Amino acid sequence: MSDHPAARSGRDLLGGLYRRPDDSNRHVTVSGQEIPLVATPADVADLDYARDLGDPGQYPYTRGIHADMYRGKLWTMRQFAGFGTAEQTNERYRFLLARGQTGLSVAFDLPTLMGRDSDDPWSAGEVGKCGVAISSLEDMETLFAGIPLADVSTSMTINSPAAIIWAMYIAAAENQGADRAKLRGTLQNDILKEFIAQKEFIFPPVPSLKLVVDTIEFASREMPLFNPISISGYHIREAGSTAVQELAFTLADGFAYVDAAIAAGLDVDEFAPRLSFFFNSHLDLFEEIAKFRAARRIWARHLRERYGARNPRSWLLRFHTQTAGCSLTAQQPQLNVVRTAYQALAGVLGGTQSLHTNSLDEALALPSEEAVEIALRTQQILAHEIGVASTIDPLAGSYFVEKLTTEMEAGAEAYFARIAEVGGVIPALEEGFFQREIADAAHWYQQALERKQRVVVGVNEYVNPDEKQQIPLLRIDKDVARSQERKLAALRARRDEAAVRAALGQIETAARDGANLMPRFLDAVRAYATLGEIVGALKAVYGEYTEPIII
């Protein structure tokens, strides 16, 4: 058995490290991980079913978090959407709900993501461009007009100012008559990955983390059905990381939030069941499936063994998946439908709880309505036509997939050790550890493309020389900024200025005292203080962050 060539080739795999594919006989994953010609029983000789896999719904949940999985409930089909004004996005939401989408997912524009009002000079050119502009409770009310927030689950992709936007959402729902304890949804609210990858940070890491802990505490006490955080690897991967880096850095962030909440006096079982995750599903089918399976196993083991969580719900890693935006091509964009379908398949075979499929035109612009419909229909085909939703974790026991899963776990553990050596997640991001690892991986990938060691159909091979861009692109109305400015001016003229000032003063005081800010944010948004004003009050206390430069 040990003489089998495949058994030998398995030994030189390095978990977590990508390699320069300088030998053309080597096959590597999209992450640069070398893979064998064939896997054999020797590759899984150490695997113990009860210890390492467990039945679906059983510790360590490698096979899935539910015993009935998609037969009990299909994954949530959740298309991320938002552009222009709150009115325009509200229309798109109604369209998606009418087409059978089962949850909402809000994309905010950059000024909102950066805590700036639409009329801030920094917002010039960006208002409503890559998401919807929300500067006040008034905009939030418009965004969900006619959509009963008591009945839908809403995911909001917002980070630095997440707590404030959440306060606006809660206030808007309560104004509709909804009970806050019944609201369902997910706040992305993962500031650590912003420092690591997406760079939409405002305040320095320590107060940023404190804001996250405030929301976790608030959710665990008052909003039991809401996920206050979606710990995200998606953006880490989009920034160019490998699969193992995505897995390791995301889980390391997750542990950092657990540590911070525990340090703030919360019991792990009080909040851990509400932590959720968000991963990327990239091109390499088996590597991605292994990543999802390893993620569940690692989280369960650490929560149970390291943090001593007693509630089995604390051990569960629930996650949303989005197909890889960075894998989409501007060339022959119709092919993106195919890429996305395979990536979605990996998500489903990996046991995702919800899924976003990218639209074919997203390398060029925000998706058009037609493109979004195809993306959503892709998920419906997966769910209903090709039979992959019926049997749980069908790849379990595959020599290759189990081997990859084990290596994913080992690679992630190796990174946890390196992060601990640097002193933890915050020191590591302040000194650029993650950024350097990701930049190196992105550079390697670019090189592999340019040397044609990786083929991208329609881009570096099989190019259509006569190609002309012909798909219709969504154009964002140029008047969005002006209409937002007018609305904000009217709001500022109409509201009770003294109440706004008082609420902002309260925020500053609470920020200095270290009190939980959620109640203060709720007061301020109800007084129609704007997002920019509230963030301004926090900046006065916390300051702003500048990152180290890592090329």
User: Which residues of the shown chain bind other proteins in the complex (CB under 8 A)?
Assistant: 110-111, 113-114, 116, 122-126, 129-130, 194, 198-201, 204, 238-240, 326, 328-331, 362-366, 431-432, 439, 442-443, 446, 449-450, 456, 459-460, 468-469, 473, 476, 543, 546-551
Using the minimum distance from each CB to other proteins, give the nearer residue, 414 or 439. Answer: 439
In angstroms, give the least distance from the CB of 13 to other proteins.
Answer: 27
How far is it, in rounded angstroms, from Cα 149 to Cα 488? Answer: 24
The nearest distance, CB 456 to other proteins, in angstroms, is: 7
- H or E element in which residue 275 lies: strand 275-281
| Closer Cβ to other proteins, 446 or 509, answer by number | 446
Q: Minimal distance in Å, beta carbon 235 to other proteins?
A: 8
In contact, 133 and 86? CB cutoff 8 Å: yes
* Least Å from the CB of residue 290 to other proteins: 24
Are 194 and 115 in contact, with CB atoms under 8 Å apart?
no
Closer residue to other proteins (CB): 176 or 331: 331
Closest distance to other proteins from the beta carbon of 200 (Å): 5
Q: Of 193 and 274, which has the nearer Cβ to other proteins?
A: 193
29 or 327: CB nearest other proteins: 327
Cβ closest to other proteins, residue 267 vs residue 508: 508
User: Which two structure tokens, joined as six digits, stand for 265?
Assistant: 């006096």
Strand order in the sheet with 80-81: 80-81, 104-107, 153-157, 184-187, 226-227
Question: Shortest distance, CB of residue 452 to other proteins, whole angstroms?
Answer: 10
- 260 Cβ contact partners less than 8 Å away, ≥ 6 residues apart: 209, 210, 212, 213
Query: Which CB, 391 or 446, lies closer to other proteins?
Result: 446
Handedness of CA 167, 172, 175, 181 (dihedral sign): negative
Please give the Cα distance from 262 to 334 (Å, whole number). Answer: 48
Q: Which residues pair with 549 in a beta bridge?
A: none
Q: What share of the chain is helix, strand, coil (3-state, %, to 5)?
A: 50, 10, 40
The first and second tokens of residue 238, run together, are 């989009």
| C-alpha atoms less than 13 angstroms from C-alpha of 259 in its C-beta half-sphere | 13
- Answer whether 367's CB lies under 8 Å from 375's CB: yes
CA 158 to the chain's CA centroid: 10
Burial of 394 (0-12, 13-18, 19+ CB in 10 A): middle
**Least spacing, CB of residue 453 vs other proteins, in Å:** 13
Between CA 153 and CA 185 the distance in angstroms is 4
Does residue 105 contact residue 158 with C-beta atoms inside 8 Å? Answer: no
320 forms beta bridges with 278, 354
- State the nearest-atom distance from the C-beta of 469 to other proteins, in Å: 4
- Nearest-approach distance from CB 131 to other proteins, in angstroms: 10
Name the residue nearer to other proteins (CB basis): 303 or 365.
365
Kindly write down the DSSP assignment for every residue of 199-266, as one continuous string: ----S-HHHHHHHHHHHHHHHHHH-TTEESEEEE-HHHHHTT--HHHHHHHHHHHHHHHHHHHHHTT-
Nearest to 229 by CA among 295, 276, 183: 276
Closest to other proteins by CB, 201 or 400: 201
Shortest Å, Cβ 422 to other proteins: 10
Strand residue runs (E) in 88-176: 104-107, 153-157
* CB closer to other proteins, 469 vs 509: 469
- Report the nearest approach of other proteins to the CB of residue 417 (Å): 19
Residue placing its CB nearer to other proteins in the complex, 175 or 198: 198
Cβ-contact 52, 62 below 8 angstroms: yes
Q: Please, which residue, 123 or 506, has the CB nearer to other proteins?
A: 123
Q: How far is the CB of 302 from other proteins (least distance, A)?
A: 26
Strands 229-232 and 153-157: unpaired
